Structure 1
Amino acid sequence: MDEAELEDWHDYEVASRREIVSLLRQIGEHNQLIRLLIRGEADVCVTSILAVDEDSNTIVLDRSVDPAQNQRMAGAARAKCETTLDKIRILFGAANLAPTVWRGEPALRADIPPTLIRLQRREYYRMATPVTNPVRALIPVPMEDGTGGMSVFALHDISVGGIALLDSKLLLDTTVGRVIANCRIELPEIGPIATSLEIRNSLDLTLLNHKTTRRIGCQFVDISRSGLAAVQRYITKLERERNAKLAGLA
């Protein structure tokens, strides 16, 4: 998970080793599918926990059906894992991924994470927005001549509590607590919603093409009930699409 997520969700961080081991074992026993993100949404593997070995401080993960992806996973210093347990979203890091053998079959091992995030409140459940059909946010940005104008930003993810957007041109003032009024978010197949946005955090990222962008976490302010309902409908739509995709890959 990235720094911005940890900042947003530190209240939901689990640091007890006993509890972490118990949660990981439950995820394995329930055969919960895990989205393992090697390089963000650009490289995603669907896996599961095969075993948790507390003595060696490792978890054993199932391998991908794609040999090339297995090589990329084994070469990754750290990956991000997302799953659910009893309808609670769980995020944790998988460090030191390496090939191993489990019950005579190839597998992957990783360190037991020192902490994990357990999100029990629905409003903190974030859904990554599509890369191929990005959601647009129209936000007022002061122009060089002193006039105001609307600039378009692509969303990174969305929740009922807010959004994260990508500011590749570094147009926005990222002062934490600053509120931007008169913003509009265009939700595909749902429609536009109007809201103010409060800046909560920002993180500069380096993309695979070596270009840089800025991820800005924003909280909804003064959003209407109908606007929140539209956001929830869009999140539900994304969930259905993702679940259908995971079922097809399982």
Structure 2
Amino acid sequence: MNNQELDNWHDYEVGSRREIVALLRQIGEKHQLVRMLVKGEADVCVTTILAVDPDAGTMVLDRSIDREQNERILSAGKVRCETYLDKIRILFTAEGLAPTLFEGNAALRADIPATLIRLQRREFYRMETPVSNPVRAILPLPLELGLGSAAFPLHDISCGGIAVIDHKNQLSTVIGEDLPNCRIELPEIGPVSVTLQVRNSLDMTMLNNKTSRRIGLQFVNMSRGGDAAVQRYITKLERERNARLAGLA
């Protein structure tokens, strides 16, 4: 996300103070992850909105678990932020950053942005799933392979869908085909049942020179509970990744 992109998205700009406050509050209440770009993609902090105070004109953000990154955020004075709300991408700039306390814990205070960008586009932030302990998706096999199902390891997951690795080339690659009665087994969260639609496929050559197939699948009519479970799992992956990056894991 750069200045040119923001200029291109001017048509999606929200300037209503009441609407901006309402959107920020919803992002906070739903515990949506906010990516804070300190120096572009090279320096990113994942945070959440803890509180919004329209009377004071400020909001409170969770601080980075990395002390040095926290110092970089404060010295920058303003940072770009991006998040999602009900699968709609939200972009804004957090300015006037200063240290504060929230419920006794250190946090960051920022000015409520004068404008924000709300993109009516289905773009989703993907998180790669662990390789050492793969997440499994139980998917139905094509009729020619019988009426059974098989387990496939996830490559990545987003609020919009998943990508699975099909080592034996068993799954259909017909774009737009629906796969009903699928089950994704999310560790520590539980299983999520959903219909998946084939969106793309890519044959890949692995390090051992064996070929494998990556298939992108979109959620179809995902339940509210399923949406929440996927969001919780992505949040869990983000926290674990950030802890590793900070050397705490």
Instruction: Return the TM-score normalized by structure 2.
Output: 0.53
Query: Counterpart of 1:225 in structure 2: which amino acid?
Result: R
Query: Counterpart of 1:219 in structure 2: which amino acid?
Result: Q
TM-fit CA distance, 1:27: 5.5
Does the alignment pair 1:131 with 2:125? Answer: no
Does the alignment pair 1:142 with 2:137? Answer: no
- Describe the SS at the equivalent of 1:230: helix
Query: Counterpart of 2:126 in structure 1: which amino acid?
Result: R
Q: Which residue of 2 aligns with 1:232?
A: 231
TM-fit CA distance, 1:142: 3.2
Is the contact between residue 136 and residue 151 of structure 2 (CA under 8 Å) also seen in structure 1? yes
- Higher-Rg structure is 2
Q: What 5-or-longer segments of structure 2 have no aligned partner?
A: 8-36, 46-78, 85-118
Partners of 1:178 and 1:124 in 2: CA distance: 21
Partners of 1:142 and 1:240 in 2: CA distance: 37
Is the contact between residue 139 and residue 184 of structure 1 (CA under 8 Å) also seen in structure 2? yes
TM-fit CA distance, 1:147: 3.1
Is the contact between residue 123 and residue 160 of structure 1 (CA under 8 Å) also seen in structure 2? no
Is the contact between residue 174 and residue 199 of structure 1 (CA under 8 Å) also seen in structure 2? yes
Does the alignment pair 1:32 with 2:43? Answer: yes
Is the contact between residue 163 and residue 217 of structure 1 (CA under 8 Å) also seen in structure 2? yes
TM-fit CA distance, 1:197: 0.4
Partners of 2:157 and 2:122 in 1: CA distance: 12
Q: Which residue of 1 aligns with 2:163?
A: 164
Q: What 5-or-longer segments of structure 1 have no aligned partner?
A: 1-11, 20-25, 35-83, 90-119
Query: Counterpart of 1:138 in structure 2: which amino acid?
Result: I
- The 1:234/1:125 distance shift into structure 2, 3 A limit, reads same
Cα RMSD after superposing both structures: 3.5
TM-fit CA distance, 1:210: 1.0
**Aligned pair count?**
153
Q: Which residue of 1 aligns with 2:51?
A: none
Query: Counterpart of 2:188 in structure 1: which amino acid?
Result: E
| Identity %, equivalent residues | 57
- Describe the SS at the equivalent of 2:246: helix
Is the contact between residue 198 and residue 219 of structure 1 (CA under 8 Å) also seen in structure 2? yes
Is the contact between residue 142 and residue 172 of structure 2 (CA under 8 Å) also seen in structure 1? no
Query: Counterpart of 1:141 in structure 2: which amino acid?
Result: L
